[in-house]
Copies of this chain bind each other. A is one copy, B any other.
Amino acid sequence: MGTRRDRLRAATVKEISETARRILVEEGPEAVTLRAIAREMGMTAPALYRYFDSHGELLRHLVGDLFTELTGELRAALKRVPHDDMSGKFMVASRQFRSWSLAHPREYALLFGAPVRGVGEQEQVDFAEECARQFGWTFMELFLQLWKKKPFPVPPDDEIDPVLLPQLRAYRDTVLGVELPLGVIQQFLKCWIRLQGGVSLEVFGHLEFALTDAEPMFELMLAEIAPQIGLTYTRR
Protein backbone atom coordinates (compact mmCIF):
# COMPACT_ATOMS: atom_id res chain seq x y z
CA MET A 1 0.00 0.00 0.00
CA GLY A 2 2.95 2.29 0.62
CA THR A 3 3.66 2.46 -3.09
CA ARG A 4 5.18 5.61 -4.44
CA ARG A 5 2.07 6.56 -6.39
CA ASP A 6 -0.12 6.19 -3.33
CA ARG A 7 2.10 8.53 -1.37
CA LEU A 8 2.07 11.08 -4.15
CA ARG A 9 -1.65 10.83 -4.38
CA ALA A 10 -2.13 11.38 -0.65
CA ALA A 11 0.21 14.36 -0.78
CA THR A 12 -1.75 15.86 -3.65
CA VAL A 13 -5.05 15.41 -1.84
CA LYS A 14 -3.53 17.16 1.13
CA GLU A 15 -2.22 20.00 -1.01
CA ILE A 16 -5.63 20.43 -2.61
CA SER A 17 -7.25 20.65 0.80
CA GLU A 18 -4.72 23.16 2.06
CA THR A 19 -5.00 25.27 -1.06
CA ALA A 20 -8.79 25.27 -0.86
CA ARG A 21 -8.58 26.22 2.78
CA ARG A 22 -6.18 29.09 2.08
CA ILE A 23 -8.36 30.47 -0.68
CA LEU A 24 -11.40 30.17 1.59
CA VAL A 25 -9.69 32.19 4.30
CA GLU A 26 -8.15 34.78 2.03
CA GLU A 27 -10.86 35.34 -0.54
CA GLY A 28 -14.08 33.90 0.85
CA PRO A 29 -16.24 30.89 0.06
CA GLU A 30 -17.28 31.89 -3.44
CA ALA A 31 -13.64 32.09 -4.50
CA VAL A 32 -13.05 28.42 -3.73
CA THR A 33 -13.41 27.30 -7.35
CA LEU A 34 -11.82 24.32 -9.00
CA ARG A 35 -10.01 26.54 -11.44
CA ALA A 36 -8.64 28.79 -8.67
CA ILE A 37 -7.39 25.82 -6.68
CA ALA A 38 -5.80 24.26 -9.75
CA ARG A 39 -4.27 27.58 -10.81
CA GLU A 40 -2.69 28.04 -7.40
CA MET A 41 -1.24 24.54 -7.61
CA GLY A 42 0.09 24.89 -11.14
CA MET A 43 -2.46 22.47 -12.48
CA THR A 44 -5.59 22.60 -14.59
CA ALA A 45 -9.10 22.22 -13.27
CA PRO A 46 -10.00 18.90 -14.91
CA ALA A 47 -7.05 17.26 -13.16
CA LEU A 48 -8.79 17.77 -9.83
CA TYR A 49 -11.44 15.32 -10.97
CA ARG A 50 -8.86 12.57 -10.43
CA TYR A 51 -9.16 13.34 -6.72
CA PHE A 52 -12.72 14.54 -6.19
CA ASP A 53 -15.87 13.61 -8.07
CA SER A 54 -17.07 17.18 -8.21
CA HIS A 55 -16.67 20.67 -6.85
CA GLY A 56 -19.31 19.90 -4.23
CA GLU A 57 -17.50 16.86 -2.97
CA LEU A 58 -14.30 18.83 -2.62
CA LEU A 59 -16.16 21.42 -0.56
CA ARG A 60 -17.71 18.69 1.55
CA HIS A 61 -14.24 17.29 2.19
CA LEU A 62 -13.16 20.77 3.24
CA VAL A 63 -16.12 20.96 5.59
CA GLY A 64 -15.02 17.69 7.14
CA ASP A 65 -11.50 19.00 7.67
CA LEU A 66 -12.83 22.17 9.27
CA PHE A 67 -15.08 20.24 11.63
CA THR A 68 -12.14 18.09 12.61
CA GLU A 69 -9.98 21.12 13.25
CA LEU A 70 -12.67 22.81 15.32
CA THR A 71 -13.30 19.64 17.29
CA GLY A 72 -9.59 19.27 17.91
CA GLU A 73 -9.26 22.78 19.28
CA LEU A 74 -12.25 22.29 21.54
CA ARG A 75 -10.89 19.03 22.94
CA ALA A 76 -7.44 20.52 23.42
CA ALA A 77 -8.91 23.44 25.33
CA LEU A 78 -10.99 21.10 27.45
CA LYS A 79 -7.92 19.07 28.35
CA ARG A 80 -6.28 22.12 29.85
CA VAL A 81 -9.05 22.35 32.45
CA PRO A 82 -8.81 20.28 35.68
CA HIS A 83 -10.87 17.11 35.39
CA ASP A 84 -13.20 17.97 38.24
CA ASP A 85 -13.87 21.58 37.22
CA MET A 86 -17.01 21.06 35.20
CA SER A 87 -17.98 24.71 35.32
CA GLY A 88 -14.60 25.59 33.92
CA LYS A 89 -14.97 22.99 31.19
CA PHE A 90 -18.34 24.32 30.14
CA MET A 91 -17.13 27.90 30.08
CA VAL A 92 -14.00 27.01 28.15
CA ALA A 93 -15.83 24.93 25.57
CA SER A 94 -18.42 27.63 24.99
CA ARG A 95 -15.92 30.43 24.75
CA GLN A 96 -13.58 28.41 22.57
CA PHE A 97 -16.41 27.67 20.18
CA ARG A 98 -17.23 31.36 19.95
CA SER A 99 -13.58 32.32 19.54
CA TRP A 100 -12.96 29.89 16.74
CA SER A 101 -16.16 30.98 15.01
CA LEU A 102 -15.28 34.66 15.17
CA ALA A 103 -11.72 33.98 14.08
CA HIS A 104 -12.91 31.89 11.12
CA PRO A 105 -16.10 33.50 9.85
CA ARG A 106 -15.67 32.17 6.30
CA GLU A 107 -15.23 28.66 7.58
CA TYR A 108 -18.07 29.07 10.04
CA ALA A 109 -20.40 30.07 7.23
CA LEU A 110 -19.50 26.90 5.39
CA LEU A 111 -20.15 24.71 8.44
CA PHE A 112 -23.12 26.42 10.03
CA GLY A 113 -24.57 28.77 7.44
CA ALA A 114 -27.52 28.18 5.21
CA PRO A 115 -27.09 24.87 3.41
CA VAL A 116 -25.22 25.57 0.18
CA ARG A 117 -26.19 24.02 -3.11
CA GLY A 118 -23.59 21.44 -4.02
CA VAL A 119 -22.55 20.92 -0.43
CA GLY A 120 -25.84 19.76 0.99
CA GLU A 121 -26.42 16.72 -1.16
CA GLN A 122 -24.57 13.77 0.22
CA GLU A 123 -23.76 10.60 -1.60
CA GLN A 124 -23.79 7.47 0.55
CA VAL A 125 -21.96 7.68 3.87
CA ASP A 126 -20.55 11.14 4.16
CA PHE A 127 -17.15 12.12 5.43
CA ALA A 128 -18.23 15.62 6.41
CA GLU A 129 -21.28 14.30 8.18
CA GLU A 130 -19.16 11.99 10.30
CA CYS A 131 -16.89 14.89 11.25
CA ALA A 132 -19.92 16.96 12.18
CA ARG A 133 -21.10 14.13 14.39
CA GLN A 134 -17.73 14.10 16.13
CA PHE A 135 -18.06 17.80 16.73
CA GLY A 136 -21.56 17.49 18.12
CA TRP A 137 -20.53 14.64 20.33
CA THR A 138 -17.85 16.81 21.91
CA PHE A 139 -20.48 19.06 23.41
CA MET A 140 -22.91 16.29 24.12
CA GLU A 141 -20.25 14.28 25.93
CA LEU A 142 -19.37 17.24 28.09
CA PHE A 143 -23.02 17.68 28.92
CA LEU A 144 -23.45 14.05 29.87
CA GLN A 145 -20.39 14.13 32.12
CA LEU A 146 -21.84 17.24 33.66
CA TRP A 147 -25.10 15.59 34.51
CA LYS A 148 -23.60 12.32 35.65
CA LYS A 149 -21.15 14.03 37.96
CA LYS A 150 -23.65 16.42 39.48
CA PRO A 151 -27.23 15.85 38.30
CA PHE A 152 -29.17 19.06 37.90
CA PRO A 153 -32.97 19.09 38.07
CA VAL A 154 -34.64 18.16 34.78
CA PRO A 155 -38.34 17.86 33.98
CA PRO A 156 -39.85 14.37 34.22
CA ASP A 157 -41.09 12.83 30.98
CA ASP A 158 -44.73 13.65 31.68
CA GLU A 159 -43.92 17.35 31.82
CA ILE A 160 -42.21 17.35 28.45
CA ASP A 161 -44.20 18.41 25.39
CA PRO A 162 -45.84 15.30 23.92
CA VAL A 163 -44.66 16.29 20.46
CA LEU A 164 -41.10 16.65 21.67
CA LEU A 165 -40.99 13.49 23.76
CA PRO A 166 -40.75 10.88 20.99
CA GLN A 167 -38.16 12.98 19.17
CA LEU A 168 -35.96 13.11 22.23
CA ARG A 169 -36.45 9.40 22.78
CA ALA A 170 -35.51 8.60 19.20
CA TYR A 171 -32.43 10.75 19.43
CA ARG A 172 -31.37 9.19 22.72
CA ASP A 173 -31.91 5.60 21.66
CA THR A 174 -30.89 5.78 18.02
CA VAL A 175 -28.03 8.26 17.99
CA LEU A 176 -26.73 8.49 21.53
CA GLY A 177 -27.44 4.99 22.78
CA VAL A 178 -27.08 5.97 26.41
CA GLU A 179 -29.43 5.70 29.35
CA LEU A 180 -30.55 8.98 30.83
CA PRO A 181 -33.71 11.01 31.41
CA LEU A 182 -35.10 12.68 28.32
CA GLY A 183 -35.21 15.91 30.29
CA VAL A 184 -31.42 15.99 30.17
CA ILE A 185 -31.50 15.96 26.40
CA GLN A 186 -34.14 18.66 26.36
CA GLN A 187 -31.93 20.75 28.60
CA PHE A 188 -28.93 20.09 26.37
CA LEU A 189 -30.80 21.21 23.28
CA LYS A 190 -32.02 24.34 25.03
CA CYS A 191 -28.47 25.26 25.95
CA TRP A 192 -27.00 24.37 22.59
CA ILE A 193 -29.61 26.37 20.71
CA ARG A 194 -28.82 29.43 22.79
CA LEU A 195 -25.10 28.95 22.36
CA GLN A 196 -24.94 28.30 18.66
CA GLY A 197 -27.83 30.63 17.90
CA GLY A 198 -26.05 33.51 19.57
CA VAL A 199 -22.73 32.75 17.94
CA SER A 200 -24.35 32.48 14.51
CA LEU A 201 -25.97 35.88 14.78
CA GLU A 202 -22.73 37.43 15.90
CA VAL A 203 -20.54 35.79 13.25
CA PHE A 204 -22.95 36.68 10.45
CA GLY A 205 -23.01 40.27 11.60
CA HIS A 206 -26.67 40.31 12.54
CA LEU A 207 -26.01 42.03 15.85
CA GLU A 208 -24.07 44.88 14.30
CA PHE A 209 -27.26 46.93 14.04
CA ALA A 210 -26.77 47.58 17.75
CA LEU A 211 -23.46 46.14 18.92
CA THR A 212 -19.85 46.44 17.88
CA ASP A 213 -18.68 43.87 20.41
CA ALA A 214 -21.16 41.19 21.41
CA GLU A 215 -18.93 39.47 23.92
CA PRO A 216 -20.73 40.91 26.97
CA MET A 217 -24.01 39.55 25.63
CA PHE A 218 -22.38 36.17 25.16
CA GLU A 219 -21.09 36.21 28.72
CA LEU A 220 -24.50 37.27 29.94
CA MET A 221 -25.92 34.23 28.22
CA LEU A 222 -23.36 31.94 29.83
CA ALA A 223 -24.17 33.44 33.21
CA GLU A 224 -27.83 32.70 32.62
CA ILE A 225 -27.28 29.17 31.34
CA ALA A 226 -24.78 28.03 33.98
CA PRO A 227 -27.08 27.86 37.00
CA GLN A 228 -29.70 26.06 34.90
CA ILE A 229 -27.34 23.12 34.60
CA GLY A 230 -25.90 23.18 38.08
CA LEU A 231 -22.79 25.16 37.28
CA THR A 232 -21.43 28.41 38.62
CA TYR A 233 -20.53 31.13 36.15
CA THR A 234 -16.89 32.10 36.20
CA ARG A 235 -15.47 35.17 34.51
CA ARG A 236 -12.89 34.82 31.80
Interface-centre pick from A28, A136, A164 (highest chain B CB count, 10 A): A164
Number of residues from A at the complex interface, CB < 8 A:
47
- On whether the beta carbons of A193 and B201 are closer than 8 Å, the reply is yes
Closest 5 CB pairs of A and B: A197-B197, A161-B216, A164-B216, A109-B114, A113-B114
- On whether the beta carbons of A112 and B206 are closer than 8 Å, the reply is yes
Checking B136, B168, B201, B211 against A209 with a beta-carbon cut-off of 8 angstroms, the contacting residue is B136
A106 CB → nearest B CB, Å: 9
Q: Which residues of B contact A190 (CB under 8 A)?
A: 217, 220-221
Residues 181-236 of A contacting B (Cβ, < 8 Å): 185-186, 189-190, 193-194, 196-198, 200-201, 203-207, 209-213, 215-217, 219-221
A167 is an interface residue with CB less than 8 A from chain B: yes
A59 to B136, CA, bound (A): 34
A112 to B20, CA, bound (A): 26
Q: Which residues of B contact A164 (CB under 8 A)?
A: 211, 216-217
Considering the complex, give the chain B residue whose CB is closest to the CB of A116: B30
Q: Which residues of B contact A117 (CB under 8 A)?
A: 28, 30
A156 to B175, CA, bound (A): 45
Q: What are 9 A-B pairs at a CB distance below 8 A?
A: A108-B114, A112-B204, A114-B204, A167-B210, A167-B213, A193-B198, A193-B201, A197-B200, A200-B201
- Fill in one digit per residue for A2-36: 1 if any B CB lies within 8 Å of its CB, else 0: 00000000000000000000000000101000000
Considering the complex, give the chain B residue whose CB is closest to the CB of A117: B30
